[in-house]
């Protein structure tokens, strides 16, 4: 019997929604089965698996510890401090129960918030899982965030307790967390009753009497503690996570318990093709959504070992990631295009140094994946490179290609496109001005999702339902649909191509251009390793494009090369898209997670304050841009 076409499978997930997701709900353990699969009666809100009771920690840890206690669960590797540690499911459960006992002893209960401000260490995962175990709501803030930003999140989350550490490390540089945290608590209106401190011995710090608790001491005190899982109604909030790039008051994405568990369980199987007992490696950070979904919860729920890495892609050398794939027999890997572009500056022979025979696929997300980068890493590794597109808000991939659904034909990858809509997502391409749906090929519109969002997506904005409705669901005229705020086109075969943020569109002499389109054009030049294009205010044209390019060989920088790139854009996109300048830099300003700070580039180019740069990995990147702009 021939396999079902993916398009038919996807259509069934929408037309037979409840039956479809009822089948997926069987992937996890429920104490009480759901009484209703989806309550979509109050749009744009949706409630999934109503009446069912479950627990994220039970599904991620306990059920595997009961049947496979000795199997690997959490592998921690730090090239920053030269340490590695492996926890079995039984050992992971013991650590999580001890952490849960600590939280309970400090008065943390169901519904209370726990703010986690930590580096990539095992205790961060223990804290997240311990919160899930007792029904507390965790809110992870990226480690190293500046005090003002951290204070605003403390005031928004109102945590009962904060879990932190003395320091993190990045590229061999110690980042002291405790002074930043102390200053944040001073600035915040809300004062948490307790701070649980993990002392790594990296930097000395002072404890605040009566508030700061020693993790090691409490761990000894609660060794062997048994803390049962709290069975929670499916729609109980599990965590909040603040979206990057938010201005003004923080915007906390609120996630549920049951829908998230089911969505991740299905995605680990159908999208990523992982198998229980194998090893999954995501190079992200727990401060971002990828770290929540595909370092901590997703792999563990699926019964896989998860590799948690503290370090960079190039320390001690640019083959370090592949050495870990070989050592721990990684079968599925998840990283970002930016990380690959960093590796692209190094000798491709490093991709062949280690035995990668265990690796079946490399998934990339976080920014659009350009064709030259995709081809380079595909040729170097010899495994499928699978792009995928999603957001903090969606919680799991919205667009990609699914290869592993039994009885359903595999969707081939297509360079330049993250893929097609995943099951459960009713994706639309809409005209920004009129809200009319665009159904023809190569039409440019705003990527949107019809109500209801599938399981695992955000429930609302923490503490602000009105903001959830007005921000996400009412931005397109005449439509109540979820806007991704990304421009996209779709080809005749249904593949979607992301063109960039709707707020990254520039208006050059009346012509609306997506900076992503210009980037894609320029990045094809053989001399370039990476490029970022931003729109800059111009008195004559309204805006002009400026390109910041990293060369594969810095010695190639010249006015002639700049002119060559401009001519290339002329030929591909037309003179209106030609950048006003192409500036050659040695690095681009990025966060520690590898996200390019385009807004900071634009601000510097326009002579404005670039704002909060606490996540900037290397401050010299913007300093270099300033110098070039003022030549």
Q: Which pLDDT does position 214 carry in this prediction?
A: 98
Condensed to tens digits (0 to 9), the pLDDT of residues 39-60 reads: 999 999 999 999 999 999 999 9
Tokens encoding 3: 């396999």
Give yes or no for a contact between 145 and 179, defined as CB atoms under 8 angstroms apart. Answer: no
Condensed to tens digits (0 to 9), the pLDDT of residues 331-376 reads: 999 998 888 988 988 999 999 999 999 999 999 998 778 888 899 9
* pLDDT above 80 (res 501): no
Q: Which pLDDT does position 505 carry in this prediction?
A: 67
SS3 assignment, position 107: coil
Average pLDDT over residues 494-506: 81
State how far the alpha carbon of 5 is from the alpha carbons of 21, 113, 406, 410, 476, in Å: 19, 44, 11, 8, 32
Helices (H), 360-489: 371-381, 465-472
State the pLDDT confidence band at 622, using cuts at 50, 70 and 90: confident
Average pLDDT over residues 151-167: 96
Residue ranges and CATH numbers for the domains of the chain are 6-311+388-472 (3.40.50.12780), 509-629 (3.30.300.30)
Neighbouring-strand partners of residue 165: 198
- The angle at the Cα of 379, spanning 375 to 381, to the nearest 5 degrees, equals 120
Cα distance between residue 525 and residue 531, in whole Å? 10
Cα distance between residue 125 and residue 133, in whole Å? 12
Q: Which pLDDT does position 38 carry in this prediction?
A: 98
* pLDDT above 90 (res 142): no
Q: Which pLDDT does position 536 carry in this prediction?
A: 87
Q: Which pLDDT does position 592 carry in this prediction?
A: 67
Cβ contacts of residue 187 below 8 Å, gap of 6+?
Answer: 147, 148, 151
* pLDDT above 70 (res 245): no
Neighbouring-strand partners of residue 116: 140, 163
- The angle at the Cα of 586, spanning 580 to 590, to the nearest 5 degrees, equals 90
Cα distance between residue 258 and residue 454, in whole Å? 12
Q: Which pLDDT does position 82 carry in this prediction?
A: 96
Condensed to tens digits (0 to 9), the pLDDT of residues 408-443 reads: 999 999 988 999 999 999 999 999 889 999 999 999
Average pLDDT over residues 485-500: 92
Q: Which pLDDT does position 342 carry in this prediction?
A: 86
Cα distance between residue 195 and residue 218, in whole Å? 12
Cα distance between residue 255 and residue 56, in whole Å? 12
Average pLDDT over residues 166-194: 94
* pLDDT above 90 (res 243): no
Give yes or no for a contact between 169 and 310, defined as CB atoms under 8 angstroms apart. Answer: yes
Give yes or no for a contact between 172 and 80, defined as CB atoms under 8 angstroms apart. Answer: yes
Give yes or no for a contact between 284 and 334, defined as CB atoms under 8 angstroms apart. Answer: yes
* pLDDT above 60 (res 207): yes
Please state, rounded to an integer, the average pLDDT across all residues of the chain. 92
Task: Say which DSSP state 440 is in.
Answer: S
Compute the residue count for the chain.
631
Cα distance between residue 231 and residue 30, in whole Å? 9
Q: Which pLDDT does position 511 carry in this prediction?
A: 59
Average pLDDT over residues 309-314: 94
* pLDDT above 80 (res 615): no
- Specify the pairing of strand 505-508 against strand 511-514: antiparallel
* pLDDT above 80 (res 628): no
Cβ contacts of residue 454 below 8 Å, gap of 6+?
Answer: 21, 259, 263, 423, 424, 425
Average pLDDT over residues 379-401: 96
E strand or H helix that includes residue 282:
strand 279-282
Average pLDDT over residues 478-499: 94
* Phi–psi pair at 566, nearest 5 degrees: -65, -40
Give yes or no for a contact between 486 and 446, defined as CB atoms under 8 angstroms apart. Answer: yes
* pLDDT above 50 (res 1): no
Q: How far is CA 138 from the centre of its chain?
A: 17
Cα distance between residue 446 and residue 108, in whole Å? 43
* pLDDT above 90 (res 90): yes
Weakest mean pLDDT among 189-193, 342-346, 393-397: 342-346
Q: Which pLDDT does position 2 carry in this prediction?
A: 61
pTM assigned to the model: 0.86
Q: Which pLDDT does position 246 carry in this prediction?
A: 37
Condensed to tens digits (0 to 9), the pLDDT of residues 69-87 reads: 999 999 999 999 999 999 9
Sign of the torsion formed by the C-alpha atoms of 626, 629, 630 and 631:
positive
Which candidate, 575, 564, 518, places its Cα nearest to that of 541? 575
Cα distance between residue 236 and residue 170, in whole Å? 36
State the pLDDT confidence band at 3, using cuts at 50, 70 and 90: confident
* pLDDT above 70 (res 509): no
Neighbouring-strand partners of residue 233: 53
E strand or H helix that includes residue 604:
helix 598-605
* Per-residue exposure over 84-97, b if at least 16 CB sit within 10 Å of its own CB, e if not: eeebbbbbbbbbbb
Average pLDDT over residues 228-240: 98
The DSSP string of 207-272 is PPTTTEEEHHHHHHHTTT---PPPPEETTS--EEEEPTT--SS--EEEE-SHHHHHHHHHHHHHTT
Cα distance between residue 146 and residue 371, in whole Å? 35
Cα distance between residue 296 and residue 298, in whole Å? 6
Q: Which pLDDT does position 264 carry in this prediction?
A: 98
The DSSP string of 293-304 is IIIIIHHHHTT-
Neighbouring-strand partners of residue 483: 448
Cβ contacts of residue 221 below 8 Å, gap of 6+?
Answer: none
Q: Which pLDDT does position 260 carry in this prediction?
A: 98
State the pLDDT confidence band at 625, using cuts at 50, 70 and 90: confident
Sign of the torsion formed by the C-alpha atoms of 450, 456, 461 and 465:
positive
Average pLDDT over residues 462-480: 94
Between 164 and 591, name the one with better pLDDT: 164
Condensed to tens digits (0 to 9), the pLDDT of residues 561-611 reads: 999 998 888 777 777 788 999 999 988 888 766 777 887 888 888 888 776
């Amino acid at each position: 019997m021939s396999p079902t076409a993916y398009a038919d499978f996807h259509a069934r997930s929408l037309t037979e929604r409840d039956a479809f997701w009822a089948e997926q709900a069987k992937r996890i353990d429920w104490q009480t089965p759901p009484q209703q699969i989806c309550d979509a009666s109050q749009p744009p809100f949706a409630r999934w698996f109503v009446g069912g009771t479950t627990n994220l920690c039970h599904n991620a840890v306990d059920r595997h510890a009961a049947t496979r206690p000795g199997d690997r669960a959490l592998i921690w590797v730090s090239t920053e401090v030269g340490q590695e540690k492996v926890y079995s499911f039984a050992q992971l459960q013991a650590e999580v129960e001890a952490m849960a006992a600590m939280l309970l002893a400090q008065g943390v209960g169901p519904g209370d918030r726990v703010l986690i401000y930590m580096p990539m260490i095992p205790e961060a995962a223990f804290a997240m899982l311990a919160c899930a175990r007792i029904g507390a709501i965790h809110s992870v803030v990226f480690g190293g965030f500046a005090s003002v930003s951290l204070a605003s999140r403390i005031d928004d989350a109102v945590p009962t307790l904060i879990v932190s550490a003395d320091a993190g490390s990045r590229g061999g540089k110690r980042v002291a967390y405790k002074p930043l945290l102390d200053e944040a608590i001073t600035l915040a209106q809300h004062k948490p009753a307790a701070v649980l401190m993990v002392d790594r011995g990296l930097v000395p710090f002072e404890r605040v009497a009566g508030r700061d608790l020693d993790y090691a001491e409490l761990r000894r005190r609660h060794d062997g503690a048994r803390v049962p899982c709290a069975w929670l109604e499916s729609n109980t909030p599990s965590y909040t996570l603040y979206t990057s790039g938010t201005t003004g008051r923080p915007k906390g994405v609120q996630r549920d318990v049951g829908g998230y568990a089911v969505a991740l369980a299905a995605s680990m199987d159908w999208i990523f093709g992982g198998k229980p007992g194998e090893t999954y490696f995501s190079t992200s950070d727990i401060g971002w959504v990828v770290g929540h979904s595909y370092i901590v919860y997703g792999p563990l729920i699926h019964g896989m070992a998860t590799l948690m890495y503290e370090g960079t892609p190039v320390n001690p050398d640019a083959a370090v990631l592949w050495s870990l794939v070989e050592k721990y027999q990684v079968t599925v890997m998840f990283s970002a295009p930016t990380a690959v572009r960093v590796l692209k500056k190094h000798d491709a022979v490093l991709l062949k140094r280690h035995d990668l025979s265990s690796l079946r696929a490399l998934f990339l997300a976080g920014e659009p994946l350009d064709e030259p980068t995709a081809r380079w890493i595909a040729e170097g590794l010899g495994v499928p490179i699978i792009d995928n597109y999603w957001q903090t808000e969606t919680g799991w991939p919205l667009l990609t290609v699914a290869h592993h659904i039994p009885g359903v034909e595999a969707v081939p990858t297509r360079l330049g496109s993250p893929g097609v809509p995943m099951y459960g997502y009713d994706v639309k391409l809409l005209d920004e001005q009129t809200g009319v749906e665009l159904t023809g090929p190569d039409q440019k519109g705003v990527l949107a999702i019809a109500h209801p969002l599938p399981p695992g997506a955000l429930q609302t904005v923490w503490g602000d339902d009105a903001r959830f409705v007005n921000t996400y669901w009412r931005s397109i005229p005449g439509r109540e649909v979820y806007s991704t705020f990304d421009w996209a086109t779709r080809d005749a075969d249904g593949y979607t191509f992301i063109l960039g943020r709707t707020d990254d569109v520039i208006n050059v002499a009346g012509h609306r251009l997506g900076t992503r389109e210009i980037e894609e054009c320029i990045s094809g030049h053989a001399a370039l390793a990476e490029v970022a294009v931003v729109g800059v205010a111009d008195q004559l044209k309204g805006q002009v494009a400026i390109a910041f390019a990293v060369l594969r060989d810095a010695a190639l920088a010249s006015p002639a090369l700049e002119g060559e790139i401009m001519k290339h854009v002329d030929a591909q996109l037309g003179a209106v898209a030609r950048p006003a300048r192409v500036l050659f830099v040695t690095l681009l300003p990025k966060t520690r997670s590898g996200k390019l700070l385009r807004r900071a580039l634009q601000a510097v180019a326009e002579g404005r304050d670039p704002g909060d740069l606490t996540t900037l990995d290397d401050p010299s990147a913007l300093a270099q841009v300033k110098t070039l702009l003022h030549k």
